[in-house]
Structure 1
Amino acid sequence: MANRIVSGIKPSGDLNIGGYGGALSQFIQLQQDYDCFFFIPDLHAITVPQPPDVLQRRTRDIAALYLAAGIDPGKSVLFLQSQVPAHAELGYLLQTLAVMGELGRMTQYKDKSDGKSSVSSALFTYPVLMAADVLLYRTTHVPVGDDQLQHLELARDLARRFNQRFGVELFLAPEPIIGMIGSRIMGLDDPSAKMSKSNPNTNSCVMLMDSPELIRRKFAKAVTDSEGIVRYDWESKPAVSNLVEIYAVFSGLSVEEIERRYDGKGYSSFKSELVDVVIEKLVPLQARYHEWIGSPELDRILKEGAQRAAAEAAPVLAEAKRAMGFASF
């Protein structure tokens, strides 16, 4: 079996360039070398309340952005999580193997529930659904950021636990793909915090659909440091390193090439040309997005993708149920 990747972007907010660098741009590269299943995890989005019309709009927005960015439905399977019921069914089966203690230790659950008097039980159990998302397709690799490693390790544990308990070799323990350039794009105002739309400083976050004028204004206000040297060093120069990483994602140049290009030039020309490469990438992406979002072809691709995904998932789910002792007719 070829190496296989499963990954997705949750439709719980509009995408910024952090989402592009940490997911979309990497998906484009990965589909050249892997058998890829890219989905929109709309079931995960409802772990917190979502207005139905907003969820529906954002789900189609993300799908259109996948295609606008360069996901090729001829190479990759693109689908909505909710359209493949095997995700939810395997998620429930795996909940019977997960224990309260390990779910309670999940950092993201603790962060998202902190200070709240009431949270959905789905917020507590959603890492098990995440495990089902990848195990269902006998996934070999999962691209993850540092904040998702804990969830992937749970998936690996559940795969091994299932196989051992039921005496089968059904699920693989997928390996992480980490450390790709763009996997950690931070706020333009604070390089210690991930770029986020929830930041009250609107200049900290560049959205994929921002106008060129707005992009220029936001980058003009991006923090740097007093050294005046374009050098990639997250420990001593986090703000500049963040800008270098953004430049690398949007230009296709390596960090070393960027450092050489701006050797002795200071920050003014660097930031100006950084804006140019971001705009050069985003303007045509925005145009392609507008073509896709209004096209019935988008729905056709998602429908066919769900059919292809369901066909891959069905025998794995059936084998899991057989191993657990469920009757089949």
Structure 2
Amino acid sequence: MSEFKQLVFSGVQPTGNLHLGNYLGALQRFVALQDTYECIYCVVDLHSLTATLVHDDLAEQTRAIAAAYLASGLDPKKNIIFNQSRVPQHAELAWIFNCVARIGWMNRMTQFKDKAGKDRENASLGLLAYPSLMAADILVYRATHVPVGEDQKQHLELARNIAQKFNNDFSEHIATHGYGVEMEVGEERVNGFFPLTEPLIEGPATRVMSLRDGTKKMSKSDPSDLSRINLMDDADTIARKIKKAKTDPEPLPGDVGGLEERPEAHNLVGIYAALAGTTVQEVIRDYGGRQFSEFKPALAELAVEKMAPINAEMRRISADPGYVDGVLREGGERAGAKAEETMKMVREIIGLLDN
């Protein structure tokens, strides 16, 4: 019996400007993964509707995310790059997963509680069911790995729960049609249709924090533009934002343990390490004991060196929307063919008539 082929899936919402946190936490890692995995990278435009239903520039935002993918170094021939709404099988499988998942699972999602706030009864059903669509995004390709930040681990765990419940509920049908694939669940080898997707979490800056508050994640929705470095910021803007980044009056510590109670210092050191492709320990070895007045200029110089080429390439690619649309169209066709292979088997397993 065959095993699941290793496949990576991930996506980014087309809402707001992409920033340094998106690059270090996602795009940079996407580029590295394309050399060792088959990868599918999506602009999850349907997910953006849970944040704001009516967008004045959704198409442009979608193109901007695709341009960032390409400018960061993703190869559209080596990877599949597309926007989610081009492949209706995502929504089809999401509905099936809505019927597999339990309401209690959704109510426990931390992000739903945070985004819905105290007025949960007035939140959209889409916001509540968001993780079910995320599970469908991953599993419609039967992806085995997803690069995620710490804040997305709960959603991936839900995707694993949905996959396991589907496998259990339809175990006899899966076996009857011969669609079972062998996989490890704990210490056992079992058969199932959907894989229990694994997270890929690595690197010194998997979670980049705000430049104005080291206890909060760098966010596209933060009202202060000084809280983030946007991928479209020019060199002067990047240097100015790092200069204004919040710090404390003490010099950098002589060891990594000294960063634990200093969130802003920890954040800036982590950003430097991620940009330089080194470790926090090595940054502290080189800059421990120095004042931020010495460290910040070095960080600004490094950030400009790394981000300026991406900025220039994003502007070049964005100036040719026809090229971007072509990449998304071709990627959508390739993704759709893969997704339909999965859905034909899902329909047969469930018993849905399929032409």
**TM-score normalised by length of structure 2:** 0.88
| Match of residue 293 from structure 2 | 268
Residue 226 (str. 1) matches residue 255 (str. 2) = no
Q: Tell me what 1:285 maps to.
A: 310
In structure 1, the residue matched to 2:235 is 212
Tell me what 2:273 maps to: 248
Q: Is the 8 A contact 1:170 1:316 kept in 2?
A: no
**1:12 is paired with a residue of what secondary structure?**
coil
User: Residues 50 and 250 from structure 1, CA distance in 2 versus in 1: closer, same or farther, beyond 3 angstroms?
Assistant: farther
Task: Read off the aligned partner of 1:190 and give its amino acid letter.
Answer: D
2:57 match: secondary structure: helix
* Alignment match of 1:185 (pick from 208, 216, 220): 208
**Does 2:193 correspond to 1:175?**
no
User: 1:231-260, CA deviations, whole angstroms, 9 ceiling, x for partnerless residues?
Assistant: 544523321121111112222233233223
Q: Which has the larger displacement, 217-226 or 139-148? A: 217-226
Q: Which amino acid aligns with 2:209?
A: M
Indicate the SS of the match to 1:245.
helix
Task: Give the SS at the match of 1:46.
Answer: helix
**Which sits farther off after the overlay, 195-204 or 27-36?**
195-204
Distance of 1:251 and 1:102 partners within structure 2 = 40
Q: Which residue identity is paired with 1:39?
A: C
| Partner-residue secondary structure (3-state), 2:85 | helix
Shift of 1:288: 0.7
3-state DSSP class of the match of 2:265? helix
Does the 8 Å CA contact 1:186/1:192 hold for their aligned counterparts? yes
Is 1:136–1:317's contact at 8 Å kept on the other side of the alignment?
yes
Matched residue SS, 2:50: coil
Secondary structure of 2:352's aligned partner: coil
CA gap of 1:290–1:105, structure 2 versus 1, over 3 A, is: same
Q: Deviations over 1:1-48 (max 9, x none)?
A: 542110011111111111111111111111111111000000000013
Q: How far apart are 1:264 and its partner, in Å?
A: 4.2
Q: Which residue of 1 aligns with 2:18?
A: 15
The 2-side partners of 1:129 and 1:287 are apart by: 34
Partner of residue 165 from structure 1, selected from 162, 166, 169: 169
- Residue 126 of structure 2 corresponds to 122
State the secondary structure of the residue aligned to 2:81.
Answer: strand
Aligned length: 329
| Contact 2:46/2:85 (<8 A) preserved | yes
| In structure 2, C-alpha distance between the alignment counterparts of 1:268 and 1:34, rounded to whole Å | 42
Does residue 1:304 correspond to 2:330, yes or no?
A: yes
Q: Is the 8 A contact 1:2 1:34 kept in 2?
A: no
- How far apart in 1 are the matches of 2:286 and 2:98? 52
Q: Does structure 1 retain, via aligned residues, the 8 Å contact 2:233–2:311?
A: no
81, 85, 107: which is aligned to 1:82? 85
Match of 1:100 among 98, 103, 120: 103
Q: Which amino acid aligns with 1:325?
A: G
Superposed displacement of residue 50, structure 1: 4.2
Rounded to whole Å, the distance in 2 between the matches of 1:291 and 1:58 is 16
**Amino acid across the alignment from 1:36:** C
Moved more, 214-223 or 104-113: 214-223
**Alpha-carbon distance between aligned partners in 1 of 2:309 and 2:346, rounded to the nearest angstrom:** 44
**Aligned equivalent of 2:155:** 151
Q: Which amino acid aligns with 1:271?
A: K
Whether the 8 Å CA contact 1:42–1:80 is kept in 2: the answer is yes
TM-score (norm 1): 0.95
The question of whether the paired residues in 2 share the 8 Å contact of 1:2 and 1:35 is answered with no
| Other structure's SS at 1:288 match | helix
| Amino acid of the structure 2 residue aligned with 1:67 | L
Tell me the distance in 2 between the aligned counterparts of 1:221 and 1:49: 31
Q: Distance in 2 between matches of 1:262 and 1:235?
A: 16
2:102 partner amino acid: V
Match of 1:203 in 2: 226
**What's the secondary structure of 1:185's corresponding residue?**
coil
Structure 2: distance between partners of 1:161 and 1:298: 38
Q: Which moved more, 1:20-29 or 1:259-268?
A: 259-268
User: Any gaps of 5 or more consecutive residues in structure 2?
Assistant: 175-191
Counterpart among 133, 142, 149 of residue 137 in structure 2: 133
Render the CA deviation track for 1:122-165: whole Å, top value 9, x for unaligned.
Answer: 11111100000111111111111121111111100111111111
C-alpha distance in 1 between matches for 2:221 and 2:330:
34
Q: Distance in 2 between matches of 1:189 and 1:62?
A: 25
Question: 5+ unaligned residues in a row in structure 1: which ranges?
Answer: none
C-alpha separation in 1, matches of 2:317 and 2:224: 31
Secondary structure of the corresponding residue to residue 18 of structure 2? coil
Q: Give the RMSD, CA atoms, in angstroms.
A: 1.7
Following the alignment from structure 2 to structure 1, what is the Cα–Cα distance between the partners of residues 53 and 16? 10
Distance 2:200 2:256 in 1: 21
State the alpha-carbon separation in 1 of the partners of residues 53 and 169 from structure 2: 37
